[in-house]
Structure formats: C-alpha cells, structure tokens
Structure 1
Amino acid sequence: MHDGIPIALGYLVVSFTLGIAARNAGLSPAEGFLASLLNNASAGEYAGFTVIAADAPYLTIILLTLVANARYLLMSCVISQKFAPDTSIWHRIFVAFDITDEIFGITIARKGYVAPFYNYGAMAVAMPGWSIGTLLGIVAGNILPPSVVSALSVALYGMFLWIIVPPARADRVVGALVTASFAASFAAAHIGVLAALSAGTRTILLTVVLAGLGAALSPIAEKAGAAENSAASEKEDA
C-alpha cells in the first residue's frame, strides 16, 4: 500500500481540477465522486464531463470514454503478463479495473512476477484519493466566487499541456500530431458536415483518425528492455 500513497496524493490534486469541470457540467458531489470511483482516468473523465455538459446522448458518452481510455487495453495486456500463469481470471479482471498510468508504472517496475494483491494495495489508496479530490473540487466550485472557479478551470488545461508538451518536444512525430490535432479540431468545428456533428462525435472521429495515422506513419519499435523483462520472467517460471 505504501507505493500507492504518493500516487493518491498526486491524484488528489489533479482530480480536484476535474471536480471543477464536473461542477461546470452540473454534477453533484455524490455524482462526481461516483464518476471518479468508476473511471480513474483524467483524459477520459474530462472528455466525459465535457459531453455531459453538452447534453450529449449516452451512446456518445460511452464511445468517447472508450476511445479516450483505449490505451488501457494495451496496459492491461502488459500487466497480465506480469502475473504468474496460474493467476485466476478474476484477479486479472479486478486488477484491470484500476489500471492507470501510475499504477501501471509501479507494477512494471517490479522485477519478475507480481502478486495481484500488490495492485490491490495500491488501488485501495489511489482510488479514494482520486474520488475524494473530485468531490472536493465540486464542493469548492459551489462555494468559491465565480472568478476563482474560472481560474481553477484553467488549471486543468495547464495539466494537459504538462502532459503533451514534454513528449512533443522529445519526438517530432508526436509534436506534429499534437499540432495537427489542434488544427483539425478547429477546422472540424467550422466545416459544413463535421460542424453539424456534436462536439463529442467530432472528438471521437478525430481521436481515432489521428491516432491511427500516427501509428501507421510512425510505428513504435519494441524496446529491448521489454524483451529482457519477458525473458527474465520466463527464466523465473522455469
């Protein structure tokens, strides 16, 4: 559980800003808490709050959340390989429920096989931190002056910039895709056919198209470290 404490503290800060977005979408503190408890993903959750605020259909909310969180499909596959072959399917399913970037990182960093209860311990600390942060953000949004709430809303965009700027500077392809996504999003909002679509539908289409284009034009080669880790696990199993 101790590995989950730093994660929980970080989640508390980040999800507080998500709480402001949830409050702007009209969610109550209880609804925001439940939303964060069931969806521990900043990008996916923010996308969901955005389309909820736009009064989008349930299907749009589901599809947008699925697309925004698609990377967790790959993370779950990798985490599954970190468990011993005799680990039950139920343990794998329960662990996959709360695969986040940070929990994925601490799990992969451990050598050899990992017991599911290691993940349960981290989840038991991290999940409440994320949910409570969202709840506090909604409560704060309801009692603070509008000018302060507006300023806190901008903090969330700062967080996303912090996420995309370093990889964009390190990789020209990522930088080009980020720039293209901004341009495409602006253009789609003003082009006849696409402009007629809801904001959520446009986001889904742009995410799938741009992500697929990036994967096709610049596929990521398998890292040597991943192969070495797999070989080490096979040796331990033998």
Structure 2
Amino acid sequence: MRFTRGLKDGLPIALGYVPVAFAYAIRAVDQGFPLWFPILVSGTNFTGTGQFAGTNLIAAGAGIAVLLFTMLVINIRYALMSVSISLKLDGHFPLWKRMIVALGVTDENYAVAMRQPKKLNFPYLMGLMGCSYAGWLGGTALGAGLSALLSAVLSGDAAAYYDMIMSAFNVSLYAMFVAIILPPARDDGRVLLLIGMSIAGSCLFYFVPVLHSLPSGVDIIVVSIVCTAVVSLLFPRKEEESGQDAPENQKADSAPSDDKGGGQ
C-alpha cells in the first residue's frame, strides 16, 4: 500500500475537515483568543470534539483539573482505536513510527484504515493521516485568517445566516461517515447490526435525561464498547476471516525473488 493511495483515501476526509476546522477557528477567535491560538491547538491536538470542548472550558475560566478530566473522557476512545489499529500494522513499526501514527488516529482515519483488506504500512498511513491533518490544520488557519474580516463585515441578520451556512458545512462530516460505513454494511450483516445498535445506543444517551447529563464523550465510549462486545460475542469472526492476510503475506515472503538489485 503506497503513500499516494493514502493521499487518495485521505482527501475526502480532509475536505470534510476543512469547514469544521474553519468553524472552530472562528469560534475560538470570537471567544477572545488570539489568531495563533486555534492554529496551535489544531496542530498539537487534532481532535475536533476535544478542541471545541477544551477551548470552551478555557474561555469559561475552568481549572486545569477540570480541563484534563474532560479531555480524558472525550478522547479516551482514541486509546481503544489505537489498540485496534495496532493489530493491523504490518510489523515494521518501531516506537517512533507508532507515536506518529497515534497522533493521526481520528474517527474517520480509523474507519478508513480498518476497511483496508491488507495489513497497514507506514507510507499508506502517512498519506491517509497526513492528508486529513493538512485539511484540519489548513481549515483552522483559513478560519483564523478570515475571522477578523468576517466579524467586521457580518453583523445582525448576516451573522445569523453565517451560522446557518457553517452548520450546513458541518453536515459534510456526517455525509462522509455515511459514505464510509455503507459499503461494508452492504456486504456484511454484522456491520449493519453494529450500526443499528450504535444508533439506538446514541439515541438512548440523547433522549434519556439521566444519560444525557453525563459528560460529553461518555456516550461514545460506552456505546462503542457495549455494541462491539455484543456483536463480537454473538457473531465471532472465524479463524480464516481474522487471518485472511496471513496466507498472502506468507506467499509474498516465501516467493523467490527475481530482482537483481532493482527497487520495488
């Protein structure tokens, strides 16, 4: 799997990130932060929900302990994703490469990476994650750069229309998720069941007052763990499915090479 393939797979994610990152930068500057602040946060965090929540807490004067706990709750799901994606790596991943990959793990990158039929190599992941990271950072920089102009030009009803436009842009992320999950759901009933259970669980957390009052991010963690555990127990993957890459890799390793010093 090549770097260019990763770029191609990451381009739709990057395009979906741009309006969300743009909106984040606008909101951060509107809360009184300097123009460089949202760019710095996006460059070092790369987590949409966490950045929105963290910036809101800082603007509200929350303490460090509250900020750290909130970030832990919201972003702990990435630890689960990182463990899952590490099982799909091709084995040529020293610690420094794993640390770079860990920074690029997002919901969308994880979904695309786990859909790949073969083991994941470093060039592919750098293309995938680098492209989406560029979209996120570029969207933030664009939003920060235009925030002063937009705040000066837009006022009153115009500002309300602007908020509506940005909300419409945010729908692009949901559309991208639909495009990611539909193909595997069409081919595998287990994936379709998992999607249905996840939707039902998310609705419970949204409509049940007690569950809705829990900190942001708890719903994602609980629904992810419970739904995947139930589906895994009811419909465990057969050994030949989970190891479907092994025969191909073994053949590649055992096949005689005709190269005489040439590159790949």
Query: What TM-score do you get using the length of structure 2 for normalisation?
Result: 0.68
Q: Does 1:233 align with 2:239?
A: no
Aligned pairs for 1:206-217 (under 5 A) are 207-208=217-218
**Alignment gaps of 5+ in structure 2:** 1-6, 179-194, 251-264
Which residue among 130, 133, 147 is the counterpart of 1:127?
Answer: 133
Change (3 A) 1:154 1:4: same
**Contact (CA 8 Å) 1:16, 1:134: kept in 2 or not?**
yes
Instruction: Give the CA deviation at 1:81.
Output: 1.0
Which residue of structure 1 lines up, in the alignment, with residue 101 of structure 2?
95
Q: In the TM superposition, what whole-angstrom CA distance separates every residue of 1:36-83 from its partner, at most 9, and x where no partner exists?
A: 111212111111111011011223222212211111111111111111
Which residue in 2 is equivalent to 1:203? 215
Give the Cα–Cα distance (whole angstroms) in 2 for the partners of residues 60 and 182 of structure 1: 21
Deviation at 1:131, TM superposition (A): 1.4
* Matched letter for residue 117 of structure 2: K
1:194 equivalent in structure 2:
none
CA–CA separation in structure 2 for the residues paired with 1:225 and 1:75: 19
Deviates more, 1:13-22 or 1:81-90: 81-90
Q: Which runs of 5+ in 1 are unaligned?
A: 186-201
Provide the residue aligned with 2:231 in structure 1. Answer: 221
Which of 68, 71, 80 aligns to 2:86? It is 80
Tell whether the 8 Å contact from 1:168 to 1:174 is kept in structure 2 after alignment.
no
- Between the aligned partners of 2:46 and 2:24, the Cα distance in structure 1 is 11
Structure 2 Cα separation of the partners of residues 170 and 213 of structure 1: 10
Cα distance in 2 for partners of 1:97, 1:113 equals 19
Is residue 17–residue 155 contact of structure 1 (8 Å, CA) maintained in 2?
A: no
Distance 1:94 1:59, change over 3 A: same
Residue 206 of structure 2 is matched in structure 1 by 178
- Between the aligned partners of 2:74 and 2:159, the Cα distance in structure 1 is 26
Q: Does the 8 A contact of 2:77 with 2:220 survive in 1?
A: no
Kindly tell me: are residues 45 and 11 of structure 1, through their superposed partners in 2, closer, same or farther at Cα, counting changes over 3 Å? same
Does residue 59 of structure 2 align to residue 53 of structure 1? yes
Highest CA radius of gyration, 1 or 2? 2
Q: Secondary structure at the match of 1:171?
A: helix
Instruction: Report if aligned partners of 2:90, 2:119 keep a CA contact under 8 Å in 1.
Output: yes
Distance 1:170 1:65, change over 3 A: closer
Deviation (angstroms), 1:107: 1.3
CA distance in 2, matches of 1:139, 1:220: 47
Identity %: 26
Of 82-91 and 49-58, the range deviating more from structure 2: 82-91
Counterpart in the other structure of 2:181: none
Calculate the TM-score normalised by the size of structure 1.
0.74
1:199 corresponds to:
none
Q: 1:168 & 1:175 partners in 2: Cα distance? A: 11
Q: Between 221-230 and 99-108, report the one with greater CA deviation.
A: 221-230
Whole-angstrom CA distance in 2 between matches of 1:60 and 1:4 = 34
